[in-house]
Amino acid sequence: MRDLVVALFILGSMPFSFRKPFLGILMFSLLAYMRLQDLAWGFAQGQRWSMYLAVISVAGYMADPNRKLPVLNVRTALLGLMVLHVGVGLFFAQGPAKVDLAAYQEYVKIVGIAVFTTAVVRTKSHLRILIWVIAMGLGFHGAKNGLMAAVKMGNLYISHGPGGMIKDNNDFALAVAMIIPWIYYLAQSETNPVLVRILKIMVPLCALTVISTRSRGGTLSLAFMGALMVWRSRNRLIGIILGLFAVVVVVAMAPEEYKERLGTIQTYEEDGSAMGRIRAWKVAFRMIDAHPMFGVGFNRFAMNHLEFEPNPTLGQQSGHSALVAHNSYLQIWAESGTPAFLIYLALMAATFWDVWRVRWRAKKLYVDSWILSYCSMFEVSLATFMLGSIFLNRAAFDLVYHLFAVVVVFGIVARRQMDEDQASSKLPGGGGDGSDDWLESPVAAQQAPRFRRVALESR
């Protein structure tokens, strides 16, 4: 019965996705992050719903005579170059096995959806809805598992995530740690008190989920994310106190096996898993040295690792041979070459730069605004991924590529909003003289950002 409901819901959305490709992006995001299909147990679970929706949405977009082209800027150009370089690298793949075209097609789909997002999400309302869908999709699993962990007083081990890109418990922990800033800063930018309360309750529940995965990388990402959020808070002292209180609670309630696992971070030389990661990093560097331009080939680290492992029996005996890079940066570098690695870093740097530029301007205009909240949301989320991906093989992580695209749209929408607000503030009675009379209406006070009392004409 559950499979039938899920299948009918997805199939029923397809005509609307063709007519309104934006709805297709929302449904695709729901399937990618909430993993709606994994809530079923039968035939609906194994269908390629995401691919079907992607094809239908793109077809509807192409059929629309009023369609807008995807945004063309440095970041979307870098995404295109990334796909192109990785594709060319397939012709220089090392090893006797056939080229993994299926894996490359999946990667193209991930990047393609990101670029497609910039074509169909162009307004503030569209951006807000998409962010809510992504945040609540992952937040659903974070809050659900966190509630179970709270009921069991922390004695819950989450061995795997819902499925797809977050099936592995480490990947699931990183994704939930990345989405916590989205949930928290959505609460900062919302005015509905019921929604704000729900969002604030979800934050600690999601943190409990990360802890319950027993992922050391996830725990480090969670701690780093919390420190960044404290740094960006208006009252850092309160944030530090709350952070220390949270640490005390976790230490007091965490099971002994979790504390022992975290303790292995300091004694990594004695931990087989940690040494396996270090061994994999060394193998990756050997691959990079041997094939700096195109690497060993997309998704071919495992089949080539023995050639670059001087003592393969050591890893096999310990059960931690270098089958994966255990590092997203080294994975890209070893499999796709130095150009792909530099493009990947440039994507991250350009995304941070755009967020910082928007924040710099917004802080001159507003005391408080959804724009400032979103800047912190994206900054903290991307920084959390950058740290967590040091320990995980997540070079083709859907969420981070979608994040690149969402920030592209955010930059356009935020600048348009700031231009309009700055123009309106120069009108008589518009606040350009330092007056906030136009915000006296209760409705206006809720919907409008709080402007700084500065004469914008002087700038």
Q: What would the pLDDT profile of 303-337 be if each residue is shown by its tens digit? A: 888 888 876 655 554 445 557 888 999 999 999 99
Are 419 and 433 part of one and the same domain? Answer: no
Return the half-sphere exposure (C-beta side, CA atoms, 13 A cut-off) of residue 145: 25
For residues 292 and 341, the answer to whether their CB atoms sit within 8 Å is no
More confident residue, 254 or 6: 6
Q: How confident is the model at residue 45 (pLDDT cuts 50, 70, 90)?
A: confident
More confident residue, 457 or 343: 343
Average pLDDT in the 218-237 region?
Answer: 86
Burial class (CB in 10 A: 0-12, 13-18, 19+), 424: middle
Are 10 and 118 part of one and the same domain? Answer: no
Residue ending a domain, choose from 33, 67, 101: 67
Are 382 and 291 part of one and the same domain? Answer: yes
* Range in 157-161, 185-189, 250-254, 443-447 the model is least confident about: 443-447
**112 has a pLDDT exceeding 50:** yes
Share of the chain above pLDDT 70, in %: 82
* Range in 8-17, 63-72, 76-85, 446-455 the model is least confident about: 446-455
The pLDDT score that the predictor gives to residue 275 is 72
Strand partners, 154: none
pLDDT mean across residues, the chain: 84
Q: What would the pLDDT profile of 78-110 be if each residue is shown by its tens digit? A: 999 999 999 999 999 888 878 888 889 999 999
**200 has a pLDDT exceeding 50:** yes
Contacts 24+ apart (CB under 8 A), 350-359: 350/74, 350/75, 350/78, 351/75, 351/378, 351/382, 351/403, 351/404, 351/407, 352/379, 352/382, 354/75, 354/407, 354/408, 354/411, 355/379, 355/407, 355/411, 357/411, 358/410, 358/411, 358/414, 358/415
Average pLDDT in the 242-257 region?
Answer: 66
Q: How confident is the model at residue 171 (pLDDT cuts 50, 70, 90)?
A: very high
Are 44 and 83 part of one and the same domain? Answer: no
Q: What are phi and psi of 255, to 5 degrees?
A: -65, 160
3-state secondary structure at position 306: helix
The pLDDT score that the predictor gives to residue 189 is 84
Q: What would the pLDDT profile of 365-392 be if each residue is shown by its tens digit? A: 988 899 999 999 999 999 999 999 998 8
Q: How confident is the model at residue 150 (pLDDT cuts 50, 70, 90)?
A: confident
Are 255 and 338 part of one and the same domain? Answer: yes
- For residue 51, give the H/E element and its range: helix 49-63
- Read off the pTM: 0.87
End-to-end CA distance of the chain: 63
**Alpha helices, DSSP H, located in 426-459:** 442-447
How far lies 445's CA from each of 359, 413, 438, 441, 449, in Å?
22, 21, 9, 6, 8
Look up residue 225 and give its two tokens.
């994310």
**193 has a pLDDT exceeding 80:** yes
More confident residue, 128 or 451: 128
Q: What would the pLDDT profile of 348-370 be if each residue is shown by its tens digit? A: 999 999 999 999 999 999 888 99
Domain total for the chain? 3
The pLDDT score that the predictor gives to residue 454 is 41
Are 412 and 437 part of one and the same domain? Answer: no
The pLDDT score that the predictor gives to residue 437 is 40
Q: How many C-beta atoms surround the C-beta of residue 47 within 10 A?
A: 16
The pLDDT score that the predictor gives to residue 317 is 47
The pLDDT score that the predictor gives to residue 266 is 53
**132 has a pLDDT exceeding 60:** yes
Most confidently modeled range among 10-19, 40-49, 272-281: 10-19
**459 has a pLDDT exceeding 80:** no
Q: What are phi and psi of 168, to 5 degrees?
A: -70, 140
Are 153 and 257 part of one and the same domain? Answer: yes
Are 305 and 370 part of one and the same domain? Answer: yes
Are 6 and 112 part of one and the same domain? Answer: no
Expressed as residue numbers, the domain containing 448 is 426-458
R_g (Cα) of the chain, nearest Å: 23
**128 has a pLDDT exceeding 90:** yes
Are 377 and 446 part of one and the same domain? Answer: no
Are 224 and 122 part of one and the same domain? Answer: yes
Residue ending a domain, choose from 67, 87, 104: 67
Are 284 and 431 part of one and the same domain? Answer: no
